[in-house]
Structure 1
């Protein structure tokens, strides 16, 4: 039931309001909530597809926002058959495929709201580090595989499904379950070292932001609108800070999840709430440094001078990293259910509900490039390699690689 409520929340989250917007592109009225029509680009930048493969069955309409993870020239992804797939990032060649959890059922795609036919499966993106690929499952399974061979190293269990990617550190694997608990496992053998428990509201955006770590602390965004810092070694809370206070007449109005990607600077943690708030906090003690009244159901991208986000109605924003002041706003992609932005060269890149990737200039926000992976939504955050290659996966499991230039 909680899963269905969360899925319903995602669908409702896509409804930005009841106002009819006129003249976005010089035309007449646009129907409320209708995705903005894509306009032909005058002089688009060159985008080259390097390769494309299928990972297997994708997440379909689950809103898991699955994405591959890049590490040491390899991509690691998951599919809806409970498998982990390792891919050569340069060529798209499969290096190994490993079954992480045993599938005991199969989803019926005719039943949008029903998942009773599935009894197992992977529900989160992989976490990679310390020679391991770690994935989480629908029944609380945590499975660690060798990143070289896919051989299973250890298994563990948490108290509910895992929809966020595990964080793999030198000594710990940090796993967040969907009931608000966070677990610290020994990276070598999977033994549980600690658990942190913090409840979640009745109605949420189904949080799947991956924890981030620095200076011995682990930082997490929570469904109640707060950011929490825990000690990596023993899970003790160091500080908690509200990003956005839940308010409103209904539970939907009060949704204030800090979801998607947090960003960790030298001395700051940057977080964005579904309740229209983005903040910078002191990484040491959680003290607020600045806030701005725009938020996201996804997460943030960070550059040396700015933060990027796509808000819940499809605007893409650039905020000054030092002050939070807006640098630009692009509304040409409204209602297109955008992914978290990523940076490729001099451009921000977002995916949308129709399978398109869009390139925006970092200095102005002008849309200057576009390509389509397939006729299926992009939900997961694209990934960019140190060599500047972008990787994105559709919710039907098609993974493609792109570079800029001919």
Structure 2
């Protein structure tokens, strides 16, 4: 099987540039390989590395699996679940929103979007393709769509509370806090809605580069702040009250001779721990930032567009080539690297116990030892690509593949 390649997006007038440059992305060297007809060969440097047998040192048990609906397939939205208050909330492009018990996988509630106007008001709205999220907080579950709808549900029951609209597709999970819902749309706009009524309070816009990695992740909230990772490689801190920019810091410079060279997206949700904000860029840069002031604390030459895994003393990042790095949280130096997943379109990382966890294009979930990066366990889920980073809560890890299948694992 050939991996789904890094997906790029561009304005309409630059669509040709997307086609021309797509073959230059990681793991893509031929038309045959792009369309899935290529054959894996360890002697070919542009093919995904073959997995080698490992002797498991971690005992991983599958707890349950569930089907959220028709998944994203090759759309590149990296749709994944979220865990809160003992529940897993998940959505699919077609299939609605679902709440599951974290430990058992039992369905708590389902929500199917319905038409609100016209003679078909009692039928499922097949035009609403749920893509952004869900996001959870303050008693709400909020989902966005490829058509720009924003739908807020009651987290306890799944009942619809309100709807709003933004001007572009939503493929990032909304963030909820401080009495507001923050929605990032794919045109570079962040919109803030009143959590109780859905009324828009303010918006902030950042220009999107002509060429960027397809994908966004959530803004992250801090006391009085909304932190946003941008497609130009910068992080901006906004006032949660009115959207005023408080500071801006470059994680990576969008430099290079071509638009492809200049891609510097921060597509993984920055991580706020205490007052320190960690952000990572597609240009293989990771930066630790003092959250209140925006002052850089340290920089590392390892990183990627996916989410950062965080442990007590490590950050785990995956770069565009598929190499996984364990970074010293205090200074950013590389403590180890694992190149055994090269060109396998590795997801962002999560931390489960003493292990870093990532998924790949072929449906494999990999557990790596946090202290040295060695492979500790491997499981396959459904044989379809994993694009969203795993999520972990209460010792349970959940992944969602591009067909909308969820699988939960626990360390024994």
TM-score of the superposed pair, with normalisation by structure 2: 0.88
Residues 107-256 of structure 1: pairs in structure 2 closer than 5 A:
120-256=128-264
For 2:371 and 2:342, the matched residues in 1 are separated by 20
Segments of 4+ moved more than 6 angstroms: 6-11
Query: 356-365 or 72-81: which moved more?
Result: 72-81
Identify unmatched segments of 5+ residues in structure 2: 1-8, 31-40, 117-125
Q: How many pairs align?
A: 381
1:389 paired with 2:396, answer: yes
CA-based RMSD of the aligned residues comes to 2.2
Q: Secondary structure at the match of 2:178?
A: coil
1:331 paired with 2:344, answer: no
**CA deviation vs aligned residue, 1:307-341 (integer Å, no higher than 9, x gap):** 11111101110111111111100101111111111
For 1:269 and 1:331, the matched residues in 2 are separated by 27
1:68 paired with 2:81, answer: yes
Contact 2:231 2:267 in 1 (8 A): yes
For 2:341 and 2:376, the matched residues in 1 are separated by 13
Query: 127-136 or 38-47: which moved more?
Result: 38-47
Instruction: Give the corresponding residue for 1:113.
Output: none
Contact 2:389 2:399 in 1 (8 A): yes
Cα shift at 1:30: 2.7
Q: Secondary structure at the match of 2:228?
A: strand
For 2:249 and 2:263, the matched residues in 1 are separated by 16
Instruction: Give the corresponding residue for 1:59.
Output: 72
Instruction: Give the corresponding residue for 1:25.
Output: none
Instruction: Give the corresponding residue for 1:357.
Output: 365
**CA deviation vs aligned residue, 1:365-402 (integer Å, no higher than 9, x gap):** 0001001011100111111112x111111111111111
For 2:227 and 2:22, the matched residues in 1 are separated by 24
Cα shift at 1:10: 7.5
Contact 1:56 1:397 in 2 (8 A): yes
Instruction: Give the corresponding residue for 1:374.
Output: 382
1:308 paired with 2:321, answer: no
Residues 12-91 of structure 1: pairs in structure 2 closer than 5 A:
13-15=25-27, 30-81=43-94, 83-91=96-104
Contact 1:279 1:291 in 2 (8 A): yes
TM-score of the superposed pair, with normalisation by structure 1: 0.89
For 1:159 and 1:94, the matched residues in 2 are separated by 33
Cα shift at 1:3: 7.7
Quick one: structure 1 residues 148 and 247, their matched pair in 2 at CA, closer, same or farther if it must change by over 3 Å? same
Cα shift at 1:43: 3.9
Query: 1-10 or 149-158: which moved more?
Result: 1-10
Q: Secondary structure at the match of 1:123?
A: strand
**CA deviation vs aligned residue, 1:199-243 (integer Å, no higher than 9, x gap):** 110111124111111121010100011000001111111011111
For 2:347 and 2:219, the matched residues in 1 are separated by 18
Contact 1:350 1:357 in 2 (8 A): yes
Contact 1:229 1:237 in 2 (8 A): yes
